[in-house]
């Protein structure tokens, strides 16, 4: 089977599902009220210089100031920052043109760069760059030389700055490539004019809406269909494709079936599963995904899989299956940053290498850049995956108001003991004779049942009368001790 791209459109939200061989591999979500910022270009103002971090904070008009590190400067700015002393290149109150390379995530502001890059279908234009190049995914040396010659010829005639030929440029004729580069140059010229006239904290250039970015970035030769369930969006995509990506026009079709588009490949169910910690493998083994602010951990277990000949073979087969499943889950959940994988311990070095190779091969289709280390002495695999936007969990969910995102609650017994300590504290501080305890149903039931004897002893010891009232809105950890 070939790959398909499904686009589900509702007024407040657009969702894109990338299906490979009938299996959901990736989900992209863009909400009208919270569009991603990656690719947007702003005229900002430096609000703080941090020499100790070799970074500056830039006000671009967002809720939180954005972060610009010396490593993300363009060539001209880097020359000013001699020996990476960023305070030599920037000062507080200085205006600066920046581009967002990473959306605000959690409590962190957006990540910025001054190395502006504007992508089109076949090229990426970098107006401040001094060199050009060709995508590493194009392996044919003769094709690489052809593309490089085409770019260099255009630069001699028309442009300053640099171009990078994208993977989609492979095999495209020179006329189409030159037209693409000319479009990018005109687009940048319009942005450059705005830089001179607009106020600071102004958006200079916004990236394309999600459906158009799909046509620009995600089109691959193996894609058989791009289905969209909105007639209006279909029309806009068709017009865009006809002008910029004509080879995709036959692939785009309007889906008008009564059955919801995402039900064709059980996409809704897969999204729900991607929000769960536990992922069950076909063999009976399972994996546990834990996402924290610092890193994501993946724990692999044999579970119900008992294997065949011996334990080592069972472990090896489970790890091989897990390696393929992990690569899919990383894309599906859009997990980025540091990722630690705890494969089941293997004794055979050959098995370790085969599992690593399986993981690397499965990650080849991933659009996000990733690096994988060797298996450590503890059997852990450390890897990184480039993170530019929020994970699926962070987009669709929020921390539990009861546990604060910890994933666990104090037991009723623990809360009861905390209440006893609070009663002692209140009585000794205020010398009262009667108290009212407000708590959840579970805690009040335990206080009047299993803890009744201890409560009676406490009342006699302190010489107070304690009343209770169950509050249905209270979580298992919440309580209040009120003086009467």
Q: Answer whether 0.95 is exceeded by the pTM.
A: no
- pLDDT tens for each residue of 429-478: 888 889 999 999 999 999 999 999 999 999 999 999 999 999 999 999 99
Cα distance from N-terminal residue to C-terminal residue, the chain: 72
Structural element, H or E, at residue 109: none
Quote the distance between the C-alpha of residue 335 and its chain's center.
5
User: What would the pLDDT profile of 405-424 be if each residue is shown by its tens digit?
Assistant: 778 889 999 999 999 999 99
Helix (H) or strand (E) holding 98: strand 95-102
pLDDT computed for residue 2 by the predictor: 67
- Looking at the chain, the whole-number percentage of residues with pLDDT higher than 70 is 98
Alpha carbon distance 293, 276 (integer Å)? 17
Where on the phi/psi map is residue 303: left (φ > 0), alpha (ψ -120 to 50), or beta?
left
The reported pLDDT for the residue numbered 221 is 61
Percent of the chain with pLDDT over 90: 60
- Hey, what domains does the chain have and what are their CATH numbers? 3-35+208-268 (3.30.420.60), 41-205 (2.40.50.140), 274-396 (no CATH), 412-483 (3.40.1260.20)
Q: Using 50, 70 and 90 to split pLDDT, how confident is the model at 292? A: confident
Mean of per-residue pLDDT scores for the chain: 90
pLDDT in tens, 136-173: 888 899 999 999 999 988 888 876 789 999 988 888 88
In this prediction, residues 385-393 reach a mean pLDDT of 87
| Residues pairing with 286 in the sheet | 280, 301
pLDDT 10s digits, 278-287: 999 988 889 9
Tokens read off for 379: 């059997």
Of 222, 252, 251, the residue nearest 236 (C-alpha): 252
Summarised one tens digit per residue, pLDDT across range 242-272 is 888 888 899 999 999 989 999 988 999 999 9
- What local confidence, expressed as pLDDT, does residue 284 receive? 87
Q: What is d(CA 42, CA 114) in angstroms, rounded to the nearest whole number?
A: 10
Those residues whose C-beta lies under 8 Å from the C-beta of residue 346, and which sit 6 or more positions away, are: 312, 315, 316, 319, 352, 355, 375, 379
Q: Which residues make Cβ contacts (< 8 Å) with residue 247, sequence separation at least 6?
A: 219
How is residue 344 annotated by DSSP?
P
pLDDT at residue 400, as a whole number: 84
Task: Check if the beta carbon of residue 305 is closer than 8 Å to that of residue 313.
Answer: no
- Count of residues in the chain: 484
pLDDT digits (tens, 9 = 90+) for 178-219: 988 988 998 999 999 999 999 999 999 998 899 999 988 876
């Amino acid at each position: 089977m070939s790959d398909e791209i499904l686009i589900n459109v509702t007024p407040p939200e657009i969702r894109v599902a990338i299906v490979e061989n009938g299996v959901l591999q990736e989900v992209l979500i863009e909400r009208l009220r919270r569009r991603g910022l990656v690719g947007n270009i702003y005229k900002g103002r430096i609000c703080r210089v941090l020499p100790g971090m070799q970074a500056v904070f830039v006000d671009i008009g967002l809720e939180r100031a954005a972060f610009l590190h010396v490593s993300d400067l363009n060539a001209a700015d880097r020359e000013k920052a001699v020996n990476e002393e960023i305070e030599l290149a920037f000062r507080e109150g200085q205006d600066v043109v920046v581009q967002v390379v990473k959306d605000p995530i959690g409590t962190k502001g957006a990540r910025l760069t001054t190395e502006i890059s504007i992508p089109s279908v076949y090229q990426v234009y970098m107006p401040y760059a001094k060199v050009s190049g060709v995508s590493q995914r194009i392996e044919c040396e003769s094709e690489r030389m052809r593309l490089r010659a085409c770019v260099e010829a255009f630069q001699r005639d028309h442009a300053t700055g640099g171009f990078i030929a994208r993977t989609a440029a492979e095999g495209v004729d020179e006329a189409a490539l030159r037209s693409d580069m000319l479009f990018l140059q005109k687009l940048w010229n319009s942005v450059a004019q705005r830089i001179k006239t607009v106020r600071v904290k102004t958006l200079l250039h916004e990236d394309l809406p999600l459906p158009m970015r799909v046509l620009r970035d995600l089109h691959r030769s193996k894609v058989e269909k791009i289905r969209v369930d909105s007639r209006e969006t279909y029309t806009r995509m068709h017009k865009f494709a006809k002008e910029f990506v004509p080879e995709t026009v036959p692939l785009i079709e309007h889906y008008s079936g009564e059955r919801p588009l995402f039900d064709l490949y059980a996409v809704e169910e897969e999204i729900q599963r991607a929000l769960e910690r536990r992922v069950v493998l076909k063999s009976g083994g399972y994996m546990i995904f834990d996402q924290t602010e610092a890193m994501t951990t993946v724990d692999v277990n044999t579970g119900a899989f008992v294997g065949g000949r011996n334990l080592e073979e069972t472990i090896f087969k489970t790890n091989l299956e897990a390696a393929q499943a992990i690569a899919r889950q990383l894309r599906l959940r859009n997990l980025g940053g540091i990722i630690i994988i705890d494969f089941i311990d293997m004794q055979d070095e050959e098995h370790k290498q085969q599992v690593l190779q399986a993981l690397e091969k499965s990650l080849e289709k991933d659009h996000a850049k990733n690096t994988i280390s060797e298996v450590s002495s503890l059997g852990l695999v450390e890897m990184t995956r480039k993170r530019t936007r929020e994970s699926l969990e962070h987009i669709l969910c929020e921390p539990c108001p009861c546990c604060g995102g910890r994933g666990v609650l104090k037991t009723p017994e623990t809360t009861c003991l905390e209440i006893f300590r609070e009663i002692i504290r209140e009585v000794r501080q205020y010398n009262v004779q009667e108290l009212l305890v407000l708590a959840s149903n579970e805690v009040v039931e335990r206080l009047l049942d299993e803890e009744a004897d201890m409560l009676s002893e406490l009342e006699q010891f302190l010489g107070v009368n304690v009343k209770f009232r169950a509050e249905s809105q209270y979580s298992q950890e919440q309580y209040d001790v009120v003086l009467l």
